[in-house]
Amino acid sequence: MGSVIDGAIEEGSLTEKKPTVVFVLGGPGSGKGTQCANIVQHFGFTHLSAGDLLRAEIKSGSENGTMIQNMIKEGKIVPSEVTIKLLQKAMQESGNDKFLIDGFPRNEENRAAFEAVTKIEPKFVLFFDCSEEEMERRLLNRNQGREDDNIETIRKRFKVFLESSLPVIEHYNAKGKVRKIDAGKPVEEVFEDVKIIFTSNSEKATV
């Protein structure tokens, strides 16, 4: 698997299967992380949250730490090069070949760079659709000590989602890859809908 994730095909590995990737997208607080935890338990995927990887990078004392911290505080999107390197490393270290990539790609730059570097196309894109009002309520009640769970940053994150992330969802929708979920319902009900998609993902859903 290593050779494919690196974006290079080593001699003798031409028949090697590319990893299965599902992108998990949706606005801040739509429940991506919550549902990914359920999917991992039922369907054997490895969950990679781009946001979690970036937060771990800050904690590790990396030279990019201050830049990442400032971007997260402002709700801005970290340059793709940084995030993709973290994702590639986590994929290689996981030993799995099925990944839920949560919160990525967040903009067109993320999307194009990931495709160019890894040559991986997502199997499908899970899109958690939720109202801003509900997402705001959830984020303000999350209580996980996240620096970006304050009303000023939340508003910035909503704007970035509308302006930069929704076009990525539209890109995949045009390719018939988006599986849209009503994420405004209680956690268990959302997961019932998620299960249907993972059990039979041949259904085509549109935004």
Ligand X SMILES: Nc1ncnc2c1ncn2[C@@H]1O[C@H](COP(=O)(O)OP(=O)(O)OP(=O)(O)O)[C@@H](O)[C@H]1O
Ligand Y SMILES: Nc1ccn([C@@H]2O[C@H](COP(=O)(O)O)[C@@H](O)[C@H]2O)c(=O)n1
Q: Binding site: residue ranges?
A: 29-34, 55, 76-78, 103-106, 110, 142, 146, 157, 185
**5 vs 24 by CB, closer to ligand X:** 24
Partner touching 19 among Mg ion, ligand Y, ligand X, none, CB below 5 to 8 Å by kind: none
What part of residues 58-77 is at the interface with ligand X (CB under 6 A)? none
CA distance linking residue 148 with residue 50, whole number of Å: 15
Question: Which of 28, 35, 84, 114 is the binder for ligand Y (CB under 6 A)?
Answer: 28
CA distance linking residue 31 with residue 33, whole number of Å: 6
- The Cβ-side half-sphere exposure at 39, using a 13 Å CA radius, reads 27
Using Cβ positions, the residue closest to Mg ion within the complex turns out to be 33
CA distance linking residue 160 with residue 106, whole number of Å: 9
What part of residues 9-68 is at the interface with Mg ion (CB under 5 A)? 32-33
Pick the closest to residue 82 from 92, 67, 95 (CA basis): 67
Question: Which of 19, 26, 103, 122 is the binder for ligand Y (CB under 6 A)?
Answer: 103
Please identify, among the stretches 17-25, 98-106, 136-144, 192-200, the one whose residues bind ligand Y according to the rule CB under 6 A: 98-106
At residue 137's C-alpha, the angle toward residues 146 and 71, to 5°, is 35
Q: Which residues are annotated as a binding site for ATP?
A: 29-34, 142, 185
